Structure 1
Amino acid sequence: MLPVYPQYMLTKEDWWFQHDRGCDKVPPPAGHYLELPAGGSFTVEIAQNRAFTTFGKNSKFNGYYGGPQQLKRGDEECVIDPNLHTPSQALAPGTVFAISYQNSIDNVTPENLVVFTVRYHTPWQRLTSYDVPKDLPPCPPGGCTCAWGRLVFVIALVQDEIFEEVLE
């Protein structure tokens, strides 16, 4: 099982598509695509490790954000197992999907990767659905590259404090 470590101290080269873990070198099987129905929605499995999804071998881990059914909390009441970085679903800042109209991950850059859907109060459950804009252009032959991202609770707290200071 591949452990998951925070990305904040890595260089861009290492955190981009989680290069430090080799995630950028493990594409989906040939012919497998995430269908993005314009004007519809799609559902994905979110987990801190592939083993905690239906791709894994132990269904007891297929509960909350790819972790045990019972949440374990740390000193500040944040859920620490699974690694949610939030005290509750109501305070979970949200996750996004972005798309690049490049069929090779090697050609994806911050300049050609665009967020197209947001799901607030996630990550929390393993199965999460996202809405697709009705005018999302189709992918070119060979497909597109999508990326999933999340806003960590600590960052959201800092942003709220900054926002409150601006209003005062």
Structure 2
Amino acid sequence: MTSLQFLDIARNSISGVLPNSMDHLTSLLYLDLSYNNITGPLPPFLGRFTSLINLYSLKQIFLSYNALKMEISSEWQPPFRLERAAFASYWFSSSFSRAWYLNISNNQVHGGLPANMESMSLQQLFLGSNQLSGPVVPMPMSLTILDLSRNYLSGYLS
């Protein structure tokens, strides 16, 4: 299925780890695996962008409400520019719990900020120029740089 561009298997009872055979989906533009019972780490082929064509054109990814573990090297530079992504709020803070730098600015990220960001280790957080809305949640005490500019957030900084 190397010409497959759209893969939506959301809201099923799919369990286990993602198979390495998915690395053959080199034309994939849309991926929605949310609301399943997928476990384990994301397969290494998703992060080895030098050997994959599909990540260059990936526009949308939905992984929320699974039990995936995401490990990202600080040197990794994604070769794609996502237009849409969905991660459950608990997943966001646990996946990036040890990250000290996170830049998701200049994308089209919508929704609210995860409620439990305060427990993260972030020192630099860039979320500017997105479509975030809702209240500003408590931020990590370790932050030295915070950019929430050009969004639709409201309320008080705490």
Please give the TM-score of this superposition, normalised by the length of structure 2.
0.26
Structure with a larger share of its residues in strand: 2
Structure with higher Rg: it is: 1
Structure with a larger share of its residues in helix: 1
Please give the TM-score of this superposition, normalised by the length of structure 1.
0.25
Q: Bigger relative contact order, structure 1 or 2, given CA contacts below 8 A and separation 6+?
A: 1
